[in-house]
């Protein structure tokens, strides 16, 4: 496997750098998904296009087993001006592959080519190339458009490079590996009045200020100290001029959590705090808790499978089965709400950080990533009983 995959390496690096040079934002990955579909077809893989606009699913079967596995890569770039000066830097102003999705796509293509050529497995592999991971929820839309009805699978696996981890090291954990993000909006309604006659109204600015302060006590006083959570009020908008107390004040912000019970607890505590502060001031409110990406929760059996496959590639000592989770979030979480699976990190080396203008995917980790995918398929679709 190692030698065969290494024989494609120059081509995979060329594909990766070409994608880096031509980044495309979420749902507009037409060039990228065109290349993906063409490569898959050339390697004899059945190709389905058009899900969530630019999504591509390649399906490859071998043997007679009805066991199925799905592997997922993301294709979108970020709205960021690249600062790198190497030859494969972005040719599009204000957009760059700053999260390594170019590398994820190239690694899954490498696995596709190997699996199509060797077919050393018994069952079906679905290769999912999704659009718009960065906030657009491309994965969620593919599911809504019937991904798992058209391509049912026993398990799904994802992989992301990690820039605070040594190159080539794998890290994974059972349970929550990426946080949930939710946004909130609180509209406080008082009674506007002359600034010199506050007793004639109800001041929404003083009320909302009380809410901003009181919300901070939820994480420090209501969330168990060993759980992590963040509540950030990031917008406070009210008023039109110096001498009018306005009718309303609007607060917005986000909540990050790592456990569904903590998330629910925070939502309820927020409502309690907002309603209490508003009652104290005689104001009313409208509170919206707007769900973002849910928690990314790895299932136990599939995570054991991921650890075992990664250990076969890089050795047990290079795999952390209890890696620290991140407070960032992932739309891979939507797949894991439907089918069991596991999302693994592959260290990119620490020379830069994802979402920064000098980031680049590390081509040296491509072989480990491709071998991980190929090993996982051969291990899970070995034809033996699970
Ligand atoms: Zn990202
Ligand atoms: Zn990413």
Q: Minimum-distance ligand to the CA of 100? A: 2
Report how far ligand 1's centroid is from the alpha carbon of 19 (Å).
Answer: 16
Report how far ligand 2's centroid is from the alpha carbon of 384 (Å).
Answer: 34
Residue given tokens 């995917």 in the structure block: 361
Report how far ligand 2's centroid is from the alpha carbon of 362 (Å).
Answer: 14
Q: Is the confidence at residue 386, as pLDDT, over 60?
A: no
Q: Are 107 and 12 in contact (CB under 8 A)?
A: yes
Report how far ligand 2's centroid is from the alpha carbon of 100 (Å).
Answer: 6
Residue range 307-319: mean pLDDT, rounded: 98
Structural domains of the chain ordered from first start = 2-178+295-380 (3.40.630.10), 180-291 (3.30.70.360)
pLDDT band for 37, please (50, 70, 90 cuts). Answer: very high
pLDDT band for 338, please (50, 70, 90 cuts). Answer: very high
pLDDT above 90 coverage of the chain, percent:
96
Report how far ligand 2's centroid is from the alpha carbon of 98 (Å).
Answer: 8
pLDDT single digits (tens) 111-170 = 999 999 999 999 999 999 999 999 899 999 999 999 999 999 999 999 999 999 999 999
pLDDT single digits (tens) 214-271 = 999 999 999 999 998 999 999 999 999 999 999 999 999 999 999 889 999 999 999 9
pLDDT above 70 coverage of the chain, percent:
99
Report how far ligand 1's centroid is from the alpha carbon of 368 (Å).
Answer: 21
Rounded CA-CA distance 210/330 in Å is 33
Report how far ligand 1's centroid is from the alpha carbon of 197 (Å).
Answer: 50
CA angle 169, 173, 177 (to 5 degrees): 100
Q: Is the confidence at residue 385, as pLDDT, over 60?
A: no
Report how far ligand 2's centroid is from the alpha carbon of 138 (Å).
Answer: 12
Report how far ligand 2's centroid is from the alpha carbon of 176 (Å).
Answer: 17
How high is the pLDDT of residue 328?
A: 87
Report how far ligand 2's centroid is from the alpha carbon of 125 (Å).
Answer: 23
Report how far ligand 2's centroid is from the alpha carbon of 307 (Å).
Answer: 21
Report how far ligand 2's centroid is from the alpha carbon of 255 (Å).
Answer: 20
Report how far ligand 2's centroid is from the alpha carbon of 331 (Å).
Answer: 10
Mean of per-residue pLDDT scores for the chain: 96
Q: How far is CA 350 from CA 56, 90, 169, 325, 330, in A?
A: 31, 21, 12, 17, 21
Report how far ligand 1's centroid is from the alpha carbon of 159 (Å).
Answer: 12
Residue range 63-76: mean pLDDT, rounded: 97
| CB contact set of 226 (below 8 Å; sequence gap of 6+) | none
Report how far ligand 1's centroid is from the alpha carbon of 280 (Å).
Answer: 42
Q: Is the confidence at residue 363, as pLDDT, over 60?
A: yes
Q: Minimum-distance ligand to the CA of 354? A: 1
Q: Please tell me the pTM assigned to this model.
A: 0.87
How high is the pLDDT of residue 384?
A: 58
Report how far ligand 2's centroid is from the alpha carbon of 103 (Å).
Answer: 10
Tokens of residue 357, six digits: 């203008």
């Amino acid at each position: 496997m190692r030698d065969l995959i290494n024989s494609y390496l120059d081509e995979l690096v060329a594909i990766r750098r070409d994608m880096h040079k031509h980044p495309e934002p979420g749902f507009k990955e037409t060039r990228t998904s065109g290349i993906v579909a063409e490569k898959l077809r050339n390697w004899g893989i059945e190709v389905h296009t058009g899900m969530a606009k630019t999504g591509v699913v390649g399906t490859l079967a071998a043997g007679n087993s009805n066991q199925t596995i799905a592997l997922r890569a993301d294709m979108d770039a970020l709205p960021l001006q690249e600062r790198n000066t190497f030859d494969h830097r972005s040719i599009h102003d204000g957009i760059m592959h700053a999260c390594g999705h170019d590398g994820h796509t190239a690694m899954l293509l490498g696995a596709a080519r190997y699996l199509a050529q060797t077919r050393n497995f018994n069952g079906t592999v679905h290769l999912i190339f999704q659009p718009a991971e960065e906030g657009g929820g491309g994965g969620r839309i593919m599911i809504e458009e019937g991904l798992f009805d058209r391509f049912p699978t026993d398990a799904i696996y994802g992989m992301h490079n990690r820039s605070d981890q040594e190159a080539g090291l794998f890290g994974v954990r059972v349970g929550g590996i990426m946080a949930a993000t939710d946004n909130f909006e609180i509209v406080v309604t008082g009674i506007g009045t002359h600034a010199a006659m506050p007793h004639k109204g109800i001041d929404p600015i003083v009320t909302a200020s009380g809410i901003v302060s009181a919300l901070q006590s939820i994480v420090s006083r209501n969330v168990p100290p060993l759980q992590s959570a963040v509540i950030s009020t990031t917008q406070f908008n009210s008023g039109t001029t110096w001498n009018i107390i306005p009718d309303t004040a609007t607060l917005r912000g986000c909540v990050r959590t790592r456990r569904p019970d903590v998330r629910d607890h925070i939502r309820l505590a927020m409502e309690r705090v907002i309603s209490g502060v508003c009652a104290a001031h005689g104001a009313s409110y409208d509170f919206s808790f707007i769900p973002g990406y849910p928690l990314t929760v790895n299932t136990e059996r599939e995570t054991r499978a991921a650890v075992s496959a990664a250990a076969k590639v890089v050795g047990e000592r290079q795999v952390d089965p209890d890696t620290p989770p991140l407070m960032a979030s992932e739309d891979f979480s939507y797949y894991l709400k439907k089918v069991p699976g596991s999302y693994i990190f592959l260290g990119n080396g620490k020379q830069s950080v994802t979402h920064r203008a000098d980031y680049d995917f590390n081509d040296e980790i491509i072989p480990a990533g491709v071998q991980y995918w190929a090993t996982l398929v051969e291990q899970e679709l070995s034809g033996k009983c699970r």
